[in-house]
A = this chain, B = another copy of it.
Amino acid sequence: MKKRTEISALGEFGLIERLMGTVGDDAAVIADGRNFSLLSTDMMLEGVDFDLTYFPLEHLGYKAVTVGASDILAMNGLPGRVLFGLGVSAKLSVEDLEQFYAGARRACSELGMEIAGGDTRASVTGFAIAVTTFGTVPKARIVRRSGAKEHDLICITRNLGAAYLGLHLLEREKRALREVDDPQPRFAGYEYLLERQLRPGARKDVVDALTGAGIVPTSMIDISDGLASDLLHICRASGCGARIYLDRLPIAKESYALAEELNIDPVVAALNGGDDHELLFTVPLGLQERVVQLGVGIEVVGHITAAGTGAALVTPDGSSIPLRAQGFETV
């Protein structure tokens, strides 16, 4: 009998490594004279990455551009064009797709991007979205996952876990309202969390601010899988360890409030929640004050350590908890 390894046995990154030989950066790099072209593809699948019962199509289009642009920004690049490959089920109307494109256009306009084309196919199953993003970066300014050095500061932007908690809120309301005739979801006070899930913005402002200040991070990644998983990518690619400090993790007050209500650990949400599309990057130790003062919500949460020291979360009492990547479940 043919050998059969379940994909879940390898995990998402184990699978990519096995298939591709390497996990690589957020975008493919195409060398072309003084500039590099950057290219990334992301898949977003109904039932896995979004639920159309509560995800408005306009927001989905907006988020698709954010997801793609974040990959380019994570290489310190300027996202320029986006192409959509859509698998469209008969459930969706033309107006639905116009809503999708309206949201995508709004995100593009905010980021100075353009929709360059794509492909649309009928789907017999759910709505499938492939987002391809093209960008450029001057050769001297490209940032990869592999450049972090011992003693570098670990920086993250804005706050973490909010998108994950927003998703939990939407799922709770979906369950609660299933049996109700005239549903009125109760989201009051948590609008911020919904926005972080349904309409996250790509952090072009952060890359612009770093560029304006003449700062080139030593490594960078888009936080899409959660801080723990994405920091482990940096450590692995750079051949280093990391220490991040629990009391430094930026978590929004709305995240604390909902986490308590839902009985979720807000730190777990911040470490493993994913979908935040904030940036995680490292800079040399001497730049601490300058990055914090850029005014774009950069927080220093830890530092890079020597190879072989592992990656860990340090609690206020000084104990170290090893960071683990989240699993990858095929369903």
Q: Which residues of A contact B (CB under 8 A)?
A: 2-10, 12, 15-16, 18-20, 24-25, 27-28, 30, 32-33, 35, 37, 39-49, 80-81, 83-90, 92-95, 97-98, 101, 115-126, 128, 130, 132, 134, 328-331
Is the pair B83, A45 in contact by a Cβ cutoff of 8 Å? Answer: no
Q: A7-B88, A81-B30, A92-B7 are in contact. Are A124 and B39 (CB under 8 A)?
A: no
A16's nearest neighbour on chain B, judged by CB, is: B120
5 interchain pairs, CB-CB under 8 A: A7-B90, A19-B120, A33-B33, A39-B132, A45-B124
Is the pair B18, A94 in contact by a Cβ cutoff of 8 Å? Answer: yes
A22's nearest neighbour on chain B, judged by CB, is: B117
Is the pair B81, A121 in contact by a Cβ cutoff of 8 Å? Answer: no
Q: A49-B121, A126-B124 are in contact. Are A7 and B43 (CB under 8 A)?
A: no
Residues of chain B within 8 A of A122, CB atoms compared: 7, 45, 48, 328-331
CA distance A24 to B115 in the complex (A): 12
Most buried by B among A24, A46, A120, A329: A120
Residues of chain B within 8 A of A118, CB atoms compared: 20, 41
Residues of chain B within 8 A of A35, CB atoms compared: 32
Is the pair A121, B45 in contact by a Cβ cutoff of 8 Å? Answer: yes
Residues of chain B within 8 A of A42, CB atoms compared: 85, 119
Which of B20, B116, B328 meets A30, CB within 8 Å?
B116
Residues of chain B within 8 A of A20, CB atoms compared: 101, 115, 117-118
Residues of chain B within 8 A of A88, CB atoms compared: 7, 330
A115's nearest neighbour on chain B, judged by CB, is: B20
Q: A28-B116, A47-B124 are in contact. Are A95 and B3 (CB under 8 A)?
A: yes
Residues of chain B within 8 A of A2, CB atoms compared: 95
CA distance A9 to B90 in the complex (A): 11
Is the pair B97, A128 in contact by a Cβ cutoff of 8 Å? Answer: no
Q: A124-B126, A130-B43 are in contact. Are A90 and B330 (CB under 8 A)?
A: yes
Is the pair B5, A330 in contact by a Cβ cutoff of 8 Å? Answer: no
Residues of chain B within 8 A of A5, CB atoms compared: 93-95
- From residue A55, how far is it (CB to closest CB) to chain B in Å? 15
Q: A125-B47, A134-B30 are in contact. Are A120 and B12 (CB under 8 A)?
A: yes
CA distance A246 to B329 in the complex (A): 54
